[in-house]
Amino acid sequence: MNLTINWSQVNWLALTPEMIILGFSIIVLLGELFLSKTSKHMLGAVTLVGLVASLVSLGYIWNLQATEFNGMFSVDLTANVLKAILLVTTALVVLGVLKVNVLMGEGEFFSLLLFSVLGTMFMASSADLIMLFIALELTVLPSYILTASKKTRQSTEAALKYFLLGMISSVILLYGMTLLFGLTGETNFAAIAGKLAGHPIQPALVASMLMIVVGLGFKIAAVPFHFWAPDVYEGSPIPVASYLAAGPKAGGFAAIIHLFPLAFGVVAPAWAGVFAILAVASMVVGNLVALSQTHVRRLLGYSAVAHTGYLLVGLAVATKLGYASLIFYFLVYSLAALGAFLVVLALAERGFGENLKDFAGFSRRAPMLALAMAIFMFSLVGVPPFAGFMGKLYLFREAVRSDLIWLAIVGVLNSVISFGYYVTVIRQMYLVSPSEGEAVARMQVSKPLFASIMIIMAAVIVLGVYPNAFLSIIKL
Amino acid sequence: MIEQVIFFALAAVAIISAIAVVLSRNLFHAVMILGGFLLTIAGFYFLLNADFVGIMQVFVYVGGVIVVMLFGIMLTPHEANITNAAKLQQKLGTYIAVAALIGLLAMIFIRTTFITSPAEPVKDTVSLAGKLFMTNYVLPFEVISVLLLAALVGAIIVARKEEH
């Protein structure tokens, strides 16, 4: 057994984005301890600087391919793209909440956010089961805490559900990993694939694979493992919910994209079929239940479940182009969902409720925000020329190419169903006037929040009209 | 031979105590039996020559987790005996599901050949584990420290009273 590590041989450059995030999370945490109450609002800006610095360093190592620490940590383009998406979306959340009361100490909020981001980045780069599991826990543990931070009955209930289901899923995942170790004696993805190649498929391998699917299925909120998602999106503080819509989910997909094609390559038809079933179940259940929701964040929660279904189409296809389409659609989806959550935040900041009827007359209160919300909704449905359309086009095109035409048809039908509830939001904003006697005054929005929503809106339009801007970066 | 006898004895105790934990109607009793269950798990580790992991299992789980759970029970108001509100249908469903899962897993395991490590048993597992932590597994080891920091911050946030 190799029991040495040559520190001078470690390519530290590969780890700089993670190191920067770690450093800033500690700085922010210390800031909470030592700064006076009046200067703590700076911590949000410090966090933003950290995220941008990490993004810049990621750009510096964009084409680097390296495997460090005896195969624990690997950097490649897929991992870098996922990290970049994560950093950009998190930076937009932080920008949005700069002037917003986060309901807990700023230092605690932002440092936990950065810890979770760090875990997700390690997840995108892990090439070993042990590393993957620890990174996963680092991603979700801060999410549980952030969900519980409001200390209302609803927030606590959501956090407890999230925590319990998350723990159970982690245990099932661990069980699957143990079986895999028992079969191969390896924890490294590539080594596992090497041991599995050329042997007949054992039933225990299928059992292990299914357990890992269940464990990671919880993290990405695929039906039937989605029960926590609507409660968490509805019950957690809105800044937290907007992070959860993108961050931890990116980690789950990063883990699946790395683990399954690499380690489970020999049983690819089996897991592709499982993901196809999960995709259909998530799309159908998510969309149908969302139709009857009146609470906007709960609606977005079920919409997130449905979108997990669309994203899983990319895994059911099980080709390189399928994964690339998945990553593109993930960016598109997380931008639109994040934008929608930030709009809800803008409303809640001015004391409005979060039910559909509270959106009545929104187009007159805040024309730009209403326009942005409408664009996010259209993008989530998949209406051209917005980004959601291109994303779905790529995903379903890959499904058709791989002879999964039925899956593409289910996807398109579901998009049509989803029109039913997204359009309700738009109808409320533009066509329904607020109840009588209520003055329709212009709504004030904090500048960073407004800026963040506008950036997301611009991105959704640009990615829809000119997707090559992104596709050329990920070299599709 | 003697190893197999110890293994099956431990396994029997583990399974019986695990079932007792689930079926116990008294929370305090359940936690005490859970402590016994965790001790048998430590026994498995000793049987596998993993003495360091075994001792850590006793320290962390029996010495730490169980004590914290007992504190949790003593410091919170609760009913001593929980009456099971589950209906017969639910119970029956649970039993059938659990039995089916156990049967399925047993069938799978019987047909599986797990590989055994060709390495010689190690005398000094503590120093080997230490070396592994500082070489092959140094990155996960360091990431765990960040995880612990996040957990500490989280414990403070969850335990703190609302300020206003």
Calculate the CA dihedral of residues A194, A198, A203, A206 and round it to 10 degrees. Answer: 50
Question: What whole-number distance in Å separates Cα of residue B126 and Cα of residue B133?
Answer: 11
Task: With CA atoms as reference, report the closest residue to A257 among A305, A323, A355, A205.
Answer: A323
- Check A138 against B119: CB less than 8 A apart: no
Judged against a pLDDT cut of 70, whether residue B65 lies above it is answered with yes
pLDDT, residue B164, reads: 47
Domain ranges of chain B: 2-122, 126-164
Question: Which helix (H) or strand (E) covers residue A73, if one does?
Answer: strand A73-75
A4 touches chain B (CB under 8 A): yes
Q: What percent of chain B has pLDDT over 70?
A: 92
Judged against a pLDDT cut of 70, whether residue B85 lies above it is answered with no
Tens of pLDDT along A444-473? 888 999 999 999 999 999 999 888 878 877
pLDDT, residue A87, reads: 95
Residue with the larger pLDDT of the pair B3 and A476: B3
- Check A69 against B113: CB less than 8 A apart: no
Question: What whole-number distance in Å separates Cα of residue A290 and Cα of residue A468?
Answer: 32
- Check B138 against A69: CB less than 8 A apart: yes
Adjacent-strand bridge partners of A295: A355
Residue A350 is classified by DSSP as T
CA angle B106, B110, B111 (to 5 degrees): 120
Task: With CA atoms as reference, report the closest residue to A334 among A281, A278, A380, A375.
Answer: A380
Tens of pLDDT along A84-119? 999 999 999 999 998 887 777 788 899 999 999 999
User: How close B138 gets to chain A, by Cα (Å)?
Assistant: 7
A152 touches chain B (CB under 8 A): no
Say how far residue A338 (Cα) sits from the centre of its chain.
9
A111 touches chain B (CB under 8 A): yes
Judged against a pLDDT cut of 80, whether residue B121 lies above it is answered with no
CA angle A230, A462, A296 (to 5 degrees): 20
Q: What percent of chain B has pLDDT over 90?
A: 46
Judged against a pLDDT cut of 60, whether residue A476 lies above it is answered with no
For residue A380, count other CB atoms closer than 10 A to its CB.
30
| DSSP secondary structure of A435-454 | PTT---PPPP--HHHHHHHH
pLDDT, residue A149, reads: 83
Tens of pLDDT along A401-411? 988 899 999 99
Question: Once rounded to an integer, what is the mean pLDDT over residues A273-279?
Answer: 93
Query: Which of helix, strand or coil describes residue A255?
Result: helix
Q: What is the mean pLDDT of chain A?
A: 89
Question: Once rounded to an integer, what is the mean pLDDT over residues B78-88?
Answer: 63
- Check A183 against B115: CB less than 8 A apart: yes
pLDDT, residue A437, reads: 57
Question: Which site among A2, A26, A68, A72 would you substitute to test the B interface, given the most B Cβ atoms closer than 10 Å to its Cβ?
Answer: A72
Query: Which of helix, strand or coil describes residue B164?
Result: coil
8 Å CB contact between A228 and A161: yes
Question: Once rounded to an integer, what is the mean pLDDT over residues B97-103?
Answer: 92
Question: Once rounded to an integer, what is the mean pLDDT over residues B33-52?
Answer: 92
Question: Once rounded to an integer, what is the mean pLDDT over residues B65-87?
Answer: 76
Judged against a pLDDT cut of 50, whether residue B8 lies above it is answered with yes
Query: Which of helix, strand or coil describes residue A182?
Result: helix
- Check B135 against A70: CB less than 8 A apart: yes
A141 → closest Cβ in B114, B151, B162: B151
pLDDT, residue A362, reads: 85
Question: What whole-number distance in Å separates Cα of residue A75 and Cα of residue A63?
Answer: 9
CATH number of B2-122: 1.20.120.1200
Q: Which residues of B touch A148 (CB under 8 A)?
A: 157-158
User: How close B119 gets to chain A, by Cα (Å)?
Assistant: 9
Location of structure tokens 């996040």: B150
Judged against a pLDDT cut of 80, whether residue B139 lies above it is answered with yes
Question: Once rounded to an integer, what is the mean pLDDT over residues A319-325?
Answer: 89
pLDDT, residue A56, reads: 95
Q: Which residues of B touch A108 (CB under 8 A)?
A: 153, 157
The letter for the amino acid at A147 is T
